[in-house]
Amino acid sequence: MLDGDELREVFGAAAANSQNHGREGRLALALQYARLCKMIAAQGQTVVIATISLFREVHEWNRAHLPKYFEIYLKVPVEELRRRDPKDIYRRFDAGELHNVAGLDLAIDEPLAADCLVEFDRERSSQRLADDLLPKILRRN
């Protein structure tokens, strides 16, 4: 299991360096993550990565280079993201302390062909979501 925030740290991109958080920096990191996933998968491992990689180029690269690629798009309204805000991203954005926030001042490319689109549902538990997703993933692989 790979986490995008942890990978930012591993790749040395977590510093408050705005070039790492703009579109080009984020795209470059997302493609590095994709290549890392390909390398791990080539060793026979199943790779799960949680990341915000909302770039058409990444979606296309993944489909072309990862034979068992299964894309899950968690579509959560910005109002819910603002409500949760565990890293104070939206509060800092609103205060003018932060920029290059995906979906606000940084354009995103929503997946056109996600294998599974999960619309936000406040009543759905993470366990129920996992129970719903696992059979779909297993059928694919």
Report pLDDT for 20. 64
Cβ atoms within 10 A of the Cβ of 120, count? 12
Q: Helix crossing, 56-65 with 23-42: angle to 10°?
A: 10
Q: Could you report the per-residue pLDDT of 67-109, keeping only the tens digit for each?
A: 899 999 999 999 999 999 999 999 999 999 999 999 999 999 9
pLDDT at 18 over 70: no
In angstroms, the CA 28 to CA 43 distance is 23
Report yes or no on whether pTM surpasses 0.95: no
The overall average pLDDT reported for the chain is 92
Token pair 């354009």: residue: 107
Report how far residue 135's alpha carbon sits from residue 59's, in angstroms, rounded to the nearest whole number: 22
Burial bucket for residue 12 (CB in 10 Å: 0-12, 13-18, 19+): exposed
Joined together, the tokens standing for residue 111 give 């997946």
Token pair belonging to 80: 């819910």
Nearest-5° Cα angle at 108, 75 to 9: 90
Residue 51's pLDDT is 93
Instruction: Compute the 3-state secondary structure of the chain and give helix, strand, coil in percent, each to the nearest 5.
Output: 50, 10, 40
Ordered by where they begin, the domains of the chain are 2-140 (3.40.50.300)
